[in-house]
Amino acid sequence: MTSRQLSTESLTVTRGYVEPSLKSAVAEQGYQFERMGYFCADRKDSKEDALVFNRTVGLRDTWAKMGE
C-alpha cells in the first residue's frame, strides 16, 4: 500500500488511562474500551511502559440519530 492510498486522518493519537490489568495486555487480543469501541494491543509499538492500542471496531452512536 502506498502513502497515496492512506487517509490523512487515519492516525489519531489519544492519551488516556486504562485499567491496571491492561499492563499485561496480549498483542492482537481484543479489548473493549467503554463508549469508544474495540481495540487490540499493537504487537510492534506497545512497550511495557507505553502501551499502544489500535481501534478495530468503532461503536455506533444511536443517540445522535435520535436527536435529528
> pLDDT tens-digit profile of 5-39?
767 777 788 888 888 888 888 888 888 887 788 88
pTM: 0.62
Structurally, the chain folds into a number of domains equal to 1
The answer, yes or no, to whether residue 66 has pLDDT greater than 70, is no
| The amino acid at 18 | V
- Half-sphere exposure (CA, 13 Å, Cβ side) for 14? 11
Domain containing 38 — which CATH number? 2.40.240.10
Residue 40 covered by a domain = yes
Residue 52 covered by a domain = yes
Residue 50 covered by a domain = yes
Please say whether the beta carbons of 18 and 51 come within 8 A. Answer: yes
**How far is residue 25 from each of residues 2, 20, 37, 43, 53, measured CA to CA in Å?**
31, 10, 16, 10, 10
